[in-house]
């Protein structure tokens, strides 16, 4: 007992020294609110810190490089529109502008991306209707300001997610409806795009949904929504054009892909792990639950192995979007829109498993779409 005391005292001190509260902002698919959450990484508590009324429900939100602004889709608007906010802090959220995008295309705003490099342009994606267009928007001091370009994919396209190369020279578009991965080059002065290539997905009905690029720039990863797979692609360093390399399953081999719709792919803080998720469409497989998976990467970004494929605690609804925290590889936020909640999952120390450490219900009838880590 004499020996135990100092050990306890030391571990308590260490815990206090490292404890920190982190803030997340969460959007919704159908209600005009943005939620600010507080996650205590020592007590492992997740609380609602603010419920902010905003002019739009956002199926996707993205922070600016300096976290002084937030951009979102206006998901329930009948024409494609994007919203911009100024953030005084994680709870001081002020609407700046709503910007129309997409030219002659119809459909709704589904996804938004903010370039972390100058000119910090904002890229908007459209889905449903005749959505074969994308929009480039400018910012002034971070404030979403104007439409600078509407460009076209195929007339049958519907892009559900985009990602930039680490140097922001190329934009990749995951074209779910067009079963294609697009490459555009980025004008470093205006942010405007120029077509470079379109690459048909490796199988019919693979349906690229979201894309993530490794910080090393040699690999990118695409969630194939239709085939419930995670695709690894290599990137040509000269042309920026990806080539399909291999796929990994986001469901059990005895389960049919038609019972799922794979969702998200995102890199951990250090770039050592890749997270991917799947959603259950019905109760015909896996008891109606979705999946969460993590992959171990080598320094270049090549997938070494799939560490696990675990059931999520719900189908995920339209979400099951995974957002790795921005301060360590330890935590990710997972959003559900079936009943409306956010969970924090913790990666095991050996990286071979993960578990839920905090859960917060946000059952407003529209929550929860995606989460971003403000701090």
Ligand X SMILES: *[C@@H]1O[C@H](CO)[C@@H](O)[C@H](O)[C@H]1NC(C)=O
The residues of the shown chain that bind ligand X, judged by CB under 6 A, are 33, 51, 53, 88-89, 91-92, 100-104, 135, 147-150, 154, 195, 198, 252, 254-255, 285, 362, 364
**Catalytic: 281?**
no
**Catalytic: 343?**
no
Catalytic position from the list 209, 210, 224, 330: 209
Catalytic position from the list 23, 38, 225, 343: 225
Question: Cβ-closest residue to ligand X?
Answer: 92
Task: Give the 3-state DSSP-derived string for the chain, with helices as H, strands as E and coil as C.
Answer: CCCHHHHHHHHHHHHHHHCCEEEEEEEECCCCEEEEEEEECCCCEEEEEEEEECCCCCCCEEECCCCCEEEEECCCCCCCEEEEEEECCCCCEEEEEEEECCCCCCCEEEEEEECCCCCCCEEEEEECCCCCEEEEEEEECCEEEEEEEEEECCCCCCEEEEEECCCCCEEEEEECCCCEEEEEEECCCCCCEEEEEEEECCCCCCCEEEEEECCCCCEEEEEECCCCEEEEEEECCCCCCEEEEEEEECCCCCCCHHHEEEEEEEECCCCCEEEEEEEECCCCCHHHCCEEEEEEECCCCCEEEEEEEEECCCCCCCCCEEEECCCCCCEEEEEECCCCEEEEEEECCCCCCEEEEEEEECCCCCEEEEEEECC
Catalytic position from the list 108, 210, 224, 279: 279
With contact defined as beta carbons under 8 Å apart, do 172 and 198 qualify?
no
Cα 221 to Cα 233: distance, rounded to the nearest angstrom: 6
**Catalytic: 209?**
yes
CA proximity to 230, closest of 191, 262, 184, 183: 262
With contact defined as beta carbons under 8 Å apart, do 134 and 173 qualify?
yes
| Closer residue to ligand X, CB minimum distance, 156 or 300 | 156
**Catalytic: 160?**
yes
With contact defined as beta carbons under 8 Å apart, do 108 and 141 qualify?
no
| Closer residue to ligand X, CB minimum distance, 13 or 195 | 195
Q: How far is the CB of 72 from ligand X (least distance, A)?
A: 17
Q: How far is the CB of 112 from ligand X (least distance, A)?
A: 15
Q: Radius of gyration of the chain from Cα atoms?
A: 20
Catalytic position from the list 108, 160, 214, 224: 160
| Closer residue to ligand X, CB minimum distance, 128 or 215 | 128
Q: How far is the CB of 262 from ligand X (least distance, A)?
A: 17
Torsion of CA 322, 324, 330, 331, to 10 degrees: -60
Q: How far is the CB of 283 from ligand X (least distance, A)?
A: 11
Cα 194 to Cα 178: distance, rounded to the nearest angstrom: 19
Catalytic residue set: 160, 209, 225, 279
């Amino acid at each position: 007992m004499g020996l135990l005391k100092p050990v306890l005292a030391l571990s308590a001190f260490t815990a206090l020294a490292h404890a920190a509260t982190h803030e997340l902002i969460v959007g919704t698919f159908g209600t005009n609110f943005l939620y600010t959450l507080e996650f205590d990484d020592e007590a492992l508590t997740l609380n609602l810190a603010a419920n902010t009324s905003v002019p739009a429900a956002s199926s996707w939100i993205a922070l600016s490089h300096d976290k002084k602004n937030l951009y979102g889709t206006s998901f329930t608007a009948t024409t494609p529109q994007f919203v911009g906010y100024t953030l005084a802090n994680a709870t001081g959220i002020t609407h700046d502008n709503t910007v129309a995008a997409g030219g002659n295309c119809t459909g709704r705003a589904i996804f938004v991306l903010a370039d972390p490099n100058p000119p910090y342009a904002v890229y908007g994606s459209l889905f449903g209707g005749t959505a074969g267009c994308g929009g480039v928007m400018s910012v002034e001091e971070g404030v979403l300001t104007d439409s600078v370009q509407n460009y076209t994919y195929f007339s049958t396209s519907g892009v559900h997610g985009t990602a930039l190369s680490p140097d922001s020279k190329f934009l990749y578009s995951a074209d779910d409806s067009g079963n294609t991965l697009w490459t555009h080059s980025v004008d470093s002065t205006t942010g405007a795009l120029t077509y470079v290539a379109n690459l048909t997905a490796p199988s019919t009905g693979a349906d690229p949904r979201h894309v993530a690029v490794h910080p090393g720039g040699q690999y990118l990863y695409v969630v194939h929504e239709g085939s419930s797979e995670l695709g690894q692609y290599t990137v040509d360093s000269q042309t920026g054009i990806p080539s399909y390399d291999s796929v990994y399953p986001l469901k059990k081999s005895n389960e049919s892909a038609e019972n799922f719709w794979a969702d998200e792919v995102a890199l951990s803080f250090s770039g050592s792990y890749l997270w991917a998720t799947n959603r259950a469409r019905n109760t015909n497989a896996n008891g109606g639950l979705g999946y969460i998976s993590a992959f171990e990467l080598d320094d270049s970004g090549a997938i070494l192995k799939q560490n696990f494929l675990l059931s999520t605690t719900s189908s995920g609804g339209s979400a099951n979007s995974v957002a790795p925290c921005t301060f360590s590889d330890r935590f990710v936020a997972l959003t559900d829109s079936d009943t409306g909640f956010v969970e924090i999952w913790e990666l095991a120390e050996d990286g071979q498993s993960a578990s839920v450490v905090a859960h917060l219900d946000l059952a407003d009838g529209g929550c929860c779409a995606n989460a971003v880590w403000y701090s």
